[in-house]
Amino acid sequence: MVHYRADVWSKSSPKPDGIEVEAELELPDATPCDGKAVDDAACAYARVSRARGRPRAYDPGEVLDKALKVFWQKGFAATSLDDLVEATGVNRPSLYAGFGDKESLYLKAMQRYRARTDSQLDAVLTCSGQNDTVRSIIRRYFDIMIDTYTGEAEHPLGCAFMCTALNEAPQHESILEMLQNTIDQFDIRFETFFAQARDMGFIRADQDPKALSQMIIGLTANLGVRARAGASRETLQDMVRGTTALLFGA
């Protein structure tokens, strides 16, 4: 039997004639809302009741990756729920149940993007041999960023954070907080790296780790915007070579 709660009725969707609503209403087993729903509210409740307790029919990580691509391409505001449903293959009720509203889904997708970037930073901000230098390490970092920014899309998408979050931050406190936190964490990671490099004698004693970190993050954002605007991979690599030569020697 499919159970419909009495509290799904409202003034906007009154009780149908001839149906007595008590603590709960029982209808014969049937596919919920198979063109014969009592009303929209009851239909929605039936779908949720049937789905409750079943295992997910999708991979959450895969859904987030697909949602990220849509947000990255179109921006947060221009991305509709229909866009997300089409890209992920997950219907609206399931998306909402699994990830929350559009803003929550966006934040989760960006957290996944950031986690991937953090993992790449962990791998690259280390010395890989006695011939390694600060300049070579920083260039490896920028190689990864340029690969990410130019990607496999027909048109380069740039930085997912800078190219999607900046416009939305003034209107959405949660997005502003995420953006600020991401920038702060990048600053800390690089400032720590440069402080250790200075202590070990790999950069000059008069070079300020905080200033170096801010310049690297500034260049990172610059590359992301330029990639989105159509700059070639070669142009971006030239910018990196010139900047790292100025900062760390040729």
At 89, the pLDDT band (50, 70, 90 cuts) reads very high
Asked if residue 8 has pLDDT above 60, the reply is no
At residue 167, the pLDDT reads 82
Q: Is the full-model pTM beyond 0.85?
A: no
Q: Which residues contact 24 (CB under 8 A, 6 or more apart)?
A: 3, 4, 5, 6
As to burial, measured by CB atoms within 10 angstroms (0-12 exposed, 13-18 middle, 19+ buried), residue 43 is middle
DSSP string computed for the chain: -EEEEGGG--SSSPPPTT---SSEEEE----TTSS--S-HHHHHHHHHHHHTTPPPSS-HHHHHHHHHHHHHHH-TTT--HHHHHHHH---HHHHHHHH-SHHHHHHHHHHHHHHHHHHHHHHHSS--STT--HHHHHHHHHHHHHHHHH-SSSS----HHHHHHHHHTTT-HHHHHHHHHHHHHHHHHHHHHHHHHHHTTSS-TT--HHHHHHHHHHHHHHHHHHHHTT--HHHHHHHHHHHHHHHH--
126-175 pLDDT per residue, tens: 766 567 899 999 999 999 999 999 976 678 888 988 888 888 888 899 99
Higher-pLDDT residue of 191, 10: 191
Q: pLDDT at residue 5 above 80?
A: no
pLDDT given for residue 234 in this prediction: 94
Asked if residue 28 has pLDDT above 60, the reply is no
Residue 44 has pLDDT above 80, yes or no: no
Model confidence at 246: pLDDT above 90: yes
Between residues 180 and 45, which one has the greater pLDDT? 180
Q: Say if residues 32 and 46 touch (Cβ distance below 8 Å).
A: yes
Q: What is the pLDDT of residue 152?
A: 65
